[in-house]
Structure 1
């Protein structure tokens, strides 16, 4: 029998489901009889519990399960017959006035939208590129040297300067009152490396062991500690220890300590360049992919299924709660998190997901096995035992699905770039790498 589908608005649809009461009761009786063969109850041997007792104890729950199963089966069958692509879960409500011996239900639900992608030849994309220069290699070498530096106690009359590691006691007050996090003893930091706010470093620079100093420190408006952000504190700091840093020489011994196969300076620089080029490739791919996705979404027309957007918001809220819990926030599971702060991002994610899926379907951009294999091998290449990393990926379906999704996105990126109006823009290594380049 043809399914009557009523359009309520945009993507919302309604169909009526009809179930014979006899079919429901027959299934309930069958499940209760099966349950009676194994159920254990005080005063009865297994399998000897009277059906009337089983019915009294389990009748309601079994009837509820059967109704859910049968309604689900009826909805699935009706949606398939009507060739509907259902988005989210239907809302089921029982109707009154059904024919004798029948139960009727309204099923209200959403369908996936028709996605119209415009002419990609009119899309404009700015594609970034950069080169790994000798300066970038030199900068990375300095980072590696700092990571392996040693420290030596300065003389009593030695003054703290950039690069030194200092041990201090400090206490800060705002309007004469201590504040949380404003006091510490035997606190260590490296002068001139941005670990402390500028005023704090300036105060300590030039001080000697045993000296104390008072100074004012203005916390930035966007400081991570909201209780002190934008406020000015009075600090007293005492220097207890100053250690000068000793950087290792860049020589064959240094290369060997890093596990470089070709333990020479040239081999070290070549290895650094190779790793930087790999990182640059992934950074460029991520930024160019973002530009492509923005252009792709701008060329697409579609309505968003509210149920799918809500599911995405729910996931984001749960993710926020999990993050709060990980940070040690008390009662993070009950923390009030307004859904609306995630709506715009959730809508973008859903829109992008639907557009990408449509382009993948119509342009045959699904990930091929050889592409997945190549991507995993590239990811594994930076590790000491690449084959173990490859096996790690192939040993978990979830990880493989994540790789497949990345490969599909890469395919979409390449496809859009081949069609769109592309403007090449060269950026510096530091600009591309961002704050990490300043480590």
Structure 2
């Protein structure tokens, strides 16, 4: 039996559930008899263990199962009868003042809120677009060349030349010994032998690189170095040290020529440089399209959050915070970090979880009202788009369609895109061109 629904707050409700103790005892006894048919105990044949022994061994477990089943069924029946959309899981607690012979429980829970999406025709959204020019292709080629760099002893004649005067300059790879001290005392981490780095890449502090430039092999130099206040080494942060560096090895960077061999190294079988550039352009355009789509989706989601009115169930925020915490832990473990004993307070994820839940409720409302569900042909087109960048597209199709969970992820993406297109079709939109470098440096996420 369940009482009428009590309203405790905007979304919080309570239902009191009760049933005779005799019902529980009767069900427990039935299950114990079933358990006794297969129960084992020393000195008894299977199925011949006395019922009292079976009750002593399994009674608590079975009683708990019976209570969970009865309370859960009674709560679901009451919620369905009251036509409630329960958000999250109910908090069920026994009542101490139950009448004799009756078990009573309070089920406290939240319901899904009413979602009111504002007038989308009045919403202003700024979208972005970007183009891939020859300059971007050139920049990408330079990056690819640097990834395939070879270093040769500077000043020593070879197949590609001698690299010029044997003096350290930006772009050269140097190998040095160095020792640092503060007030005449060496400090931990301030000394190394045969330490390599490339000048100009910013791996070392600016004063360190500046002191290295101009040195020849065998030369040494002493110079002051002021550590920044926010330097990661707290023992030396904000202090000035005296460093002595000795150049032991000097190499110049030889970048491969942009020729047929270079094109072949990038997968162009016939070495056609023009085809290589076209392939790079296609890949860049695909990446740009993805970034543009992400930025525009973020703009739409921001607009929906500002426009829609709703109360967000705290139970759903707590669940999503827990989910985000676990995802973060798994991600760090996959990166090789030992976080077994590291706490992940859910409070750290509450703000992000609140936004995710809020958006989920808004999107659900829009999808239901406007029939924006992902259609099978849309899902297939999205998977085929994913497959374009792989050598064997058929394997990609098989990867997604062989696992319902993977396919559900694609469906969610398509659904979001349907919502984005729907909102952009109604709202007041403007568009601006963003620089390629700015777009590629962004990391928009909804």
Q: TM-score, normalised by structure 2?
A: 0.89
Structure 1 spans left out of the alignment, 5+ residues: none
Q: Rate the CA distance shift 1:29–1:242 in 2: closer, same or farther, 3 A.
A: same
Tell me the CA shift for residue 167 of structure 1: 2.3
Please report how far the alpha carbon of residue 308 of structure 1 lies from its aligned counterpart in structure 2 after TM superposition: 0.9
Of the structure 1 ranges 7-16 and 174-183, higher mean CA displacement relative to structure 2 is found in 174-183
CA distance in 1, matches of 2:109, 2:410: 32
User: Which sections of structure 2, spanning at least 5 residues, go unmatched?
Assistant: 157-164
Deviation digits for residues 342-379 of structure 1, max 9, x if unmatched?
A: 32222112111111111111111111111111112212
Question: What per-residue deviation string (whole Å, max 9, x for no partner) do you get for residues 146-202 of structure 1?
Answer: 112222112387112222222233344566666665444333322223333333322
What residue number does 1:417 align with?
424
Equivalence map 1:33-432=2 (5 Å): 33-98=33-98, 101-155=101-155, 158-173=166-181, 181-220=189-228, 232-260=240-268, 263-322=271-330, 325=333, 332-432=339-439
Inter-partner Cα distance in structure 2 for 1:178 and 1:351? 55
Of 311-320 and 345-354, more deviation after overlay is shown by 311-320
Q: Distance in 2 between matches of 1:249 and 1:118?
A: 58
How far did 1:322 drift?
A: 4.2
- Is this contact kept in 1: 2:2–2:17, CA < 8 A? no
Q: Distance in 2 between matches of 1:178 and 1:61?
A: 65
Distance 1:269 1:116, change over 3 A: same
Structure 1 residues 368 and 303, CA, compared in 2 at 3 Å: closer, same or farther?
A: same
Q: Distance in 1 between matches of 2:186 and 2:401?
A: 54
State the match for 2:29 in structure 1: 29
> Is the contact made by 1:2 and 1:81 (CA closer than 8 Å) also made in structure 2?
no
Q: Aligned partners of 2:38, 2:183: CA distance in 1, in Å?
A: 74
Measure, in 2, the Cα distance between the counterparts of 1:274 and 1:131: 12
Q: Which range moved further: 188-197 or 239-248?
A: 188-197
Matching residue of 2:160: none
Aligned-residue CA RMSD (Å): 2.6
Once the two structures are superposed, what CA deviation does each residue of 1:13-56 show, in whole Å capped at 9, x if it has no partner?
Answer: 01111223233222211221222122222222211111111111
Mean CA deviation greater in 208-217 or 225-234: 225-234
Q: 1:230–1:84: structure 2 CA closer, same or farther, 3 Å change rule? A: farther
SS of the residue corresponding to residue 364 of structure 2 reads helix
Whole-Å separation in 2 of the counterparts to 1:70 and 1:375: 45
Range 269-278 or range 15-24, more displaced: 15-24
> CA 1:64–1:148 in 2, change beyond 3 Å: closer, same or farther?
same
Normalising by structure 1, what TM-score? 0.90
For 1:227 and 1:308, the matched residues in 2 are separated by: 44
Q: Distance in 2 between matches of 1:191 and 1:62?
A: 71
Paired residue secondary structure (1:297) = helix
Distance 1:315 1:227 in 2: 38
- Give every structure 1 segment of 4 or more consecutive aligned residues whose post-TM-superposition deviation is greater than 6 Å: none
Per-residue deviation, 1:97 = 4.8
Contact 2:2–2:18, Cα closer than 8 Å, also in 1 = no
C-alpha contact (below 8 Å) 1:3/1:81 kept by paired residues? no
